[in-house]
Amino acid sequence: MNPTPVIAIHGGAGTILRSALTADAEAQYHAALQAILQAGQRILADGGSALDAVTEAVRLLEDCPLFNAGHGAVFTSAGTHELDASMMDGVTLEAGAICCVTRVKNPVLAARRVLEASEHVLFTGAGAEAFAAAQGLEFVDPSYFHTDARYQQWLNARGSQGTMLDHDAASLDGPIDPDKKFGTVGAVACDARGHVAAATSTGGMTNKQPGRVGDAPLIGAGCYANDATCAVSTTGTGEMFMRMLAAYDVSARMEYRGASLEEAAREVVMERLPRIEGRGGLIAVDAQGNVTLPFNTEGMYRGFARVGETPVTAIYR
């Protein structure tokens, strides 16, 4: 029996307090998540692949200034933007990723081209941009990624002489807590054929050292997909997700121990990551169309949509 196609997305996790978001800001996040879920839902309803659905969802998340990816990416300590993205196809286990690009408008589209058109998995910096240019992808002036809110976050972080993970509810006005919010976007999907795919994209950490790469473009850490188990996209303290191979760990628990999607994801997020102070969450689907969206922080911008049903979005715990 074929599963009902489903897509899930996230836009970052962390200390997202109801008291710190205005009603208008909250409505903007819900509206953006709903519109992006509907776009992915339409692709799946028309018989499109899980890979196509996650590509489009993450492209739209990159284009939305509310989230830390693409237009709206955070600033490095040098006042620049360095963007990372990855994706994986659960049918073939093929993957593509790019990191530290500065002029590629939609990093997820570059990751898709690496998956489809290259024998390699990961390109970085100038090599990634040369590959993207050769593939005919759209380039922009680095000023395209600037938003006033991110610029103010950067000024605050410079004043504190620290790095700052995105989505800190108090980041624009109060003291900066570097553990408060984690800015990555991602999507996972299961299509009508029971195939799964995942994609992840990020602008990194505010005031990060240039050249720093987190989990988002690393297959197995920030992104993983395998039809035999699940598709996963993560958001959180990147270094901890890298050390735990968090995305792959969900799949491994399902494959080697027979854990359910829900059980495997909960163990990784609620038990294993906290052992090394790993904070954040993940979204995951399996080939039967099951969905889970666990997180160990106060909130995570998230949602899912099954074909034929109204999309569900949420922010708080």
- Asked if the structure places residue 40 within a domain, the reply is yes
Any known ligand binding at 237?
A: yes
> How many of the other CB atoms lie within 10 Å of CB of 239?
15
pLDDT confidence tier of residue 7, bands split at 50, 70 and 90: very high
Do 183 and 65 form a contact (C-beta atoms < 8 A)?
no
Q: What is the pLDDT of residue 42?
A: 98
Q: Which of 152, 154, 174 is nearest to 163 (CA)?
A: 154
Q: What is the pLDDT of residue 170?
A: 39
Q: What is the pLDDT of residue 272?
A: 98
Give the tens place of pLDDT for each residue, 21-56: 889 999 999 999 999 999 999 999 999 999 999 999
Any known ligand binding at 236?
A: yes
Task: Identify the domain containing residue 139 by its residue range.
Answer: 6-158+178-316
Any known ligand binding at 183?
A: no
| Domain at 154, CATH number | 3.60.20.30
- Asked if the structure places residue 94 within a domain, the reply is yes
- Asked if the structure places residue 193 within a domain, the reply is yes
Q: What is the pLDDT of residue 175?
A: 32
Q: What is the pLDDT of residue 21?
A: 84
Any known ligand binding at 310?
A: no
Distance CA 73, CA 307 (A): 31
Do 267 and 253 form a contact (C-beta atoms < 8 A)?
yes
Percentage of the residues of the chain whose pLDDT score is greater than 90: 83
Q: Which residue matches tokens 């659960």?
A: 90
pTM greater than 0.75 (yes/no): yes
Q: Among the options 15, 55, 76, 184, which is catalytic? A: 184
Give the tens place of pLDDT for each residue, 146-185: 999 889 888 888 877 666 555 543 344 433 344 455 689 9
Tell me if residue 184 is catalytic. Answer: yes
Number of domains in the chain: 1
- Asked if the structure places residue 50 within a domain, the reply is yes
Q: What is the pLDDT of residue 161?
A: 61
Tell me how far apart the terminal alpha carbons of the chain are, to the nearest angstrom: 33
Strand extents, DSSP E, 156-290: 181-182, 184-190, 196-202, 223-225, 230-236, 280-286
